[in-house]
Structure 1
Amino acid sequence: MTEADGSQVANAYRNQHFVPEMYLRLFNEGHEDAIDIVPMRSGRLVRGASLHNQASKHLFYGEDGSVERELGQIEGAAAGIIATILRRDRPPNRLSPDHQGLVMFISIQLMRTLAAVEEANERADKVAKSMIREAIPGHEMLDRLDLVKVTLSDPVADAMRAGFQGTPFLYDLKMKLIVNSSDVPFLASDAPVIMHNCLYEGTGAPASGYANKGLQIVLPPGPWRALILYDSAVYEVRLRRQQCSAASQCTPCRTDQRSPVGNGTKRCVCGRRRAGS
C-alpha cells in the first residue's frame, strides 16, 4: 500500500458513525445512498439526504480508525443476522451464535451514541462533585464547584466498554419479534435502542440498568418489525388474533397497576399474532 492509498483509507474512517449505515439502510426503502430524515431542530422532512452523513461525527472514535474497523466487523455480522430474522420472521434461538451476536450488537449500539456519551459525562460530573463535597465539607471552593464541568478523558471508550462488559447480563432476556400492523412505520433515530423498565415506572427508582429486574429493550430492524428483549420473570407476551384497538395493546403495558412492585404478578407485553401462527 502506498502512502497515498494509506491516506485515503485513513480519511474513509474520519467520518465515524455512531449509528451504523447498515442499520440506517433498513429504513431507506431501497435507496442505495439516500434516506429521508426529519432533523429535530427544524422538524421538517428532508427527502433524499445523504446516508453517509447521518448519525456520524468527525473522529468520534479517534484518529487511527481501529475502533471503527472493529465495529465494522460486529456490524457486518449483525447485518447478516438481521437479514435472517426478517427473512424467517422470527428471532434467533436463545444462546445460539446468532442470538449472542445480535445481543452484543444491541448492547454496544446502546452505549455508542452521542446520548450515551453525554450520560457518561453527566454521571462522572455528579459522582466527582459528590466525592469532593464529602471530602471537603464547608470549604469555600464548594460555592463555585458547579461552575466547573467534570468530564471523562475518553467517554466514548468508557461507554462502549460498559456495553461490551454488560452484554452477558442481557443473554437471559427473552426475545420476541413484534409485527407492526399499523399504517405508521417505526423510525430510526440517532439513539435507536430503547431501554425501559415499566415495572418501576413512576417510582423514581433508577431501574434501567442491565441487571435490573423488569428490564425491557426495543430495537426496530426496519419500519414494520421490532425486536423486544424482556424479563420473562416479570412480563409475558400475549399474542392476540384480533387487531389491536388501543395503543396500550401494542406496546409494553401493565396489567395490574395497583399491585405493589415485586409482588410476583406478571405484567404483559402484548402483540399481534402472525397469520397462521
Structure 2
Amino acid sequence: MAFNKNQHFVPKVHLRPFSLDGENLAISLINLRQMKPIPNAPVKNQCSSDYFYGRDPKLESAINFVENNYGEVVRLLEDGHPTVDGRVNIVLKRFAYLQYLRTESASRAASEMVLALQDVPGSDIPMPPMREAILAAVQAAMLHFNETMKIVDDLKLCLVRNHTDMPFVTSDNPAILTNRLHLQRRHKALNGFGVKSAGAIFVLPLNSQLCGILYDGAVYSYDGRERWIDAAKPADIAALNALQVLGCASNVYFRDWDRREDHLAAAKLVVDRRPSSRHTVTHLVLEETNDWGEYYSVKPITDIRNGEKAMVHVKTNHPCPASWPSFLRFRANAGAYSNNTGAGLTREWCLAAGFVRGDRYRKVSV
C-alpha cells in the first residue's frame, strides 16, 4: 500500500518557494477558467489526487527520491550556491523530465489518445472510465521515465537570475516543453515535436527569482557565463511567465499576493494564445492496397463503416508564444539530424543512445 493517499503530481517541494512566506501552507493563484486571483489556497490541496500514482509503495518511493534531491538542490541555489556542478545539472534535468511526464494534464492527454481509438466503429478496445485511464497513463509514464530518463542528458542547462521587479510564476504543469525551432522556423521543421526533437527547450521555474532552462545546444546559444544568465529585461521574464500560462491546465501560482493584478494582467495578455483543444484527432480509412503498400484517406468518423480498416492520428496542439527570451538565440551554425521522413528533426544524442530508430540520418542545417 502506498504511504500517502493524497499524492501530488506537482510536488509540494516545487510549490514551497512560491507559497506564502515559503512555509508551504498557503499559496496565491490565478484560475484561468474564472480569470481571477485567489488568495491563501491550501498547498496540500493543489495539484493532487487520491492515489494519483496508484498504491505501489516502490513507485512512490522512487518518485520521492527524485523530489527530495530536487528540493535539496533548489535550497542550495537559494542559499547562493554559485556553481552549477554535476549534481545540480543531473538533478534538475531528471526532475524536469519527470515533472513533464507526470502531471494530470500530461496523463489526461495520453489517456485521451487511447480513448480516441474507441470512437472508431467496430473498435473492440475496452472503454475504461477516464479516472482509470488517467491512472494507467500515469503508471505507464513512470515506467517510461525509468527507461528513458537519459533522453535529456545532452540538453544544456542554464539558470536565469531574475533582476526585474516582476517575479517568476509557476503552474499546475510547470515543466514546459517547447521548441522555438519548430514553432518559429516552420519551413525548416514541418512536423510536430517532442522530447527527442531537435530544438527542444524545457522551462522550469525554481522560485520567484530563479528559472531553469534546458535547451538543445546544437540549435541555440545563450548570453551568459558558467551556466548563469542575469536577466534584467522585463520582456524576457514576461516571455518565460507566459509559457506557464500557455501550458498549464487551470492554475498559475505566485508568491506575493500584492502582485496579483500584475500577474492577472500578464495572463490576460496571452491567454487567447492557448489552444482551444490540446489535440486534433484525424481518422483515416484504407482506400487501396497494391504492390507498393497501403493507401489511406482522411474521413469524418461519421462516414467510417463498421469493419473498415482504419487508423487514428492524434496531433498535439502546442501553444505558440508571442515572444521568446532574448538571451536564448539561434546559433549561426544550428544543426539537426534528419532522414527526410515523418520522424522529423532529431538530436545526435537521441540517435546515438537509441531513443530514435531508423537509418540514413544525416546532419542538416536548420
Question: Which TM bucket (shorter chain)?
Answer: 0.7 to 0.9
- 2:151 aligns with 169
Determine the C-alpha separation between the residues in 2 that align with 1:185 and 1:123. Answer: 36
**What SS is found at the alignment partner of 2:160?**
strand
8 A contact 2:107–2:137 mirrored in 1: yes
**Match among 46, 52, 57 for residue 49 of structure 2:** 57
Q: Which amino acid aligns with 2:198?
A: K
Residues 1:28 and 1:198: Cα distance change in structure 2 (over 3 Å): same
1:114 shift after superposition? 0.5
2:15 is equivalent to residue 24 of structure 1: yes
- 2:198 aligns with 213
8 A contact 1:90–1:177 mirrored in 2: no
Determine the C-alpha separation between the residues in 2 that align with 1:220 and 1:242. Answer: 14
Residues 1:38 and 1:207: Cα distance change in structure 2 (over 3 Å): same
8 A contact 1:106–1:193 mirrored in 2: yes
2:203 is equivalent to residue 102 of structure 1: no
Q: Which amino acid aligns with 1:20?
A: P
TM-score, normalised with respect to structure 2: 0.57
**Mapping 1:54-133, distance limit 5 Å:** 54-63=46-55, 65-88=57-80, 90=82, 92-93=84-85, 96-125=86-115, 128=117
Determine the C-alpha separation between the residues in 2 that align with 1:171 and 1:144. Answer: 43
Determine the C-alpha separation between the residues in 1 that align with 2:231 and 2:77. Answer: 24
- Structure with more of its chain in strand, by fraction: 2
1:187 shift after superposition? 1.3
* Larger RCO of the pair (alpha carbons < 8 Å, separation 6+): 2
TM-score, normalised with respect to structure 1: 0.73
Q: Which ranges in structure 2 are unaligned for 5 or more consecutive residues? A: 237-323, 337-344, 346-362
Residues 1:113 and 1:213: Cα distance change in structure 2 (over 3 Å): same
Q: Cα deviations across residues 42-89 of structure 1 (Å, max 9, x unaligned)?
A: 222221111111110111111354433332222111111111223335
**What SS is found at the alignment partner of 1:200?**
helix
1:144 shift after superposition? 6.3
Determine the C-alpha separation between the residues in 1 that align with 2:331 and 2:221. Answer: 11
1:169 shift after superposition? 1.5
Q: Cα deviations across residues 214-244 of structure 1 (Å, max 9, x unaligned)?
A: 1111101011111111111110012488943
- 2:169 aligns with 187
- 2:348 aligns with none
1:19 shift after superposition? 0.5
Residues 1:89 and 1:49: Cα distance change in structure 2 (over 3 Å): same
- 1:272 aligns with none
Determine the C-alpha separation between the residues in 2 that align with 1:187 and 1:116. Answer: 20
Determine the C-alpha separation between the residues in 1 that align with 2:40 and 2:234. Answer: 34
Moved over 6 A (4+): 259-262
2:216 is equivalent to residue 231 of structure 1: yes
Q: Percentage identity across aligned positions? A: 26
- 2:138 aligns with 156
Q: Which ranges in structure 1 are unaligned for 5 or more consecutive residues? A: 1-8, 130-140, 266-277
Residues 1:91 and 1:48: Cα distance change in structure 2 (over 3 Å): farther
- 2:365 aligns with 264
2:187 is equivalent to residue 198 of structure 1: no
- 1:222 aligns with 207
**What SS is found at the alignment partner of 1:81?**
helix
1:172 shift after superposition? 1.3
- RMSD (Å), alpha carbons: 3.4
